[in-house]
Structure 1
Amino acid sequence: MSAAISAVHLLASETRKLRTVATTWVLTAIGWGLVVLSALLPYLIPAMGSPFTGSAEQVASTIDAIGANSIIVMIVGILVVTTEFRHGTIGRTLQLVPSRMRVLGAKLAAGIVYSLAFVLTSLVIVTVILFAMSIAGDAPLHWGAPVGTALWQAFAGLALTSVLGVAVGALIRSQVIAITVSLIWIFVVEQLVFGLRPSAGQWLPFQALNSVFLTAETRAQMPPNAQFLEPGVALAAFLGYVVVFTVVAAVLMRARDV
């Protein structure tokens, strides 16, 4: 029982650290803005989508706007670890909690808590947008199976993204380098590989994650030669990357000096 209480206190401490860092709130606000933009663009610009009809597929596609902004959750996950190294507080943390695996576990849990909070708050935003478009276009909303799929994919995909972010932060430690390398990898390396060799590029981490959030309707609108993994396969591939990075981060955290 005391171990469970200690774990709860450690998690509360880690989430409090996130809440008291201004960068977390700034990134979250940017993420909410991107969710709004991603949700509205397909219907505001006719060339990017189709008129809003309120179908279950369109509702699901709008919810997928949350997952499309996973980079925000990734960066916050990196901050969970690297902020302590940047400000030199990691030594004090390890003095209070000598077990490095417990500290890493608490930071992973804090990242997941943040991702769930981000998804929940973003769902409130998306719901408001959906009802506003429904009223404006006189198009009743439909809540079929695709909506349920989009919901669990948002929670699972962003929770895994937060874990990957924490793992990357634990591996690299330097906040600036970790964020810079992650952005270059996502927006340069993966895009180049996917553009040159789609068959290989579709298996890269964030290409696989993006495939998780592609609805059947979105896939149908893509060019015939577009190559994306099926959602289940994509989620399994991304999970594989998360497991590998987390295990390596745990091994190195135990072996390296602070």
Structure 2
Amino acid sequence: MQTPTMRGGSVSKWSTMGRDLLSARMTLLGVLVLVLIQGVVEKAGGFEAKPEWFGAIGLSRQGLSNGCYWQPFSYALIHGNWVHLVINVVGLLAIGPRIERIGGGRLFLVLLVSGWLAGGLFHLLLNPGGEMIPLVGISGGVIAILLWLTGVSPGSRMWPLPVSGSSLGIGILLASAILALLNPSLGIPYLSDLGEKLGKSADGSVSHACHLGGALVGWVFARWTLRPRVSLAKLQKERARREAADGPDQRELR
């Protein structure tokens, strides 16, 4: 963990962020891979020119039924266009270095991959009507690392937003859940009707179910990270408490 630079009695946030970014090897490697893949896709003409690429790499029920079992892993590596990629890359660069500074590159990778796998699973479960286009994009993983960060820093301000980590995390979870359940294909009373009135489609163009899956992974991992640890001091204290409860006669028999 790096020590922040002090300038004029205050922490230099930009300097710290810059050092974190340059030392975040897994984040930078992931961004490089995504940009290179998107460059190849766009050079080939993008979705309109190569829909079969998206059909093979993106995630869909049809693809899985046709034996494309790699799709839950591959769908996150391809994006619909440069704008889609840039949105996710900005999230990775803003959050990834903080994760690596706190827990290292391995933690970042585990959270990211777990998030996109859960996102794909929730997308399939909460879209029973099927998808008109395959699911693509790493947003499930980005949401997972964001929710982990808000979970382990509930009282911190989530720069650049003027809200606490706890408020941001709860807001993302609730919003993702509500938007996912508005899907008309789920047939949930009142919610499905409201989804149709709001013009929410079930074509998978924006998968709120994917975001929900990633958010839940990040939230669960944060709770696991903050779980009470068993220490030698705690074990000794517990033994002393038991021996005091047993009394001197019981201790002599041991």
TM-score, normalised with respect to structure 2? 0.33
**CA radius of gyration, larger in:** 2
TM-score normalised to structure 1 length: 0.32
**Bigger relative contact order, structure 1 or 2, given CA contacts below 8 A and separation 6+?**
1
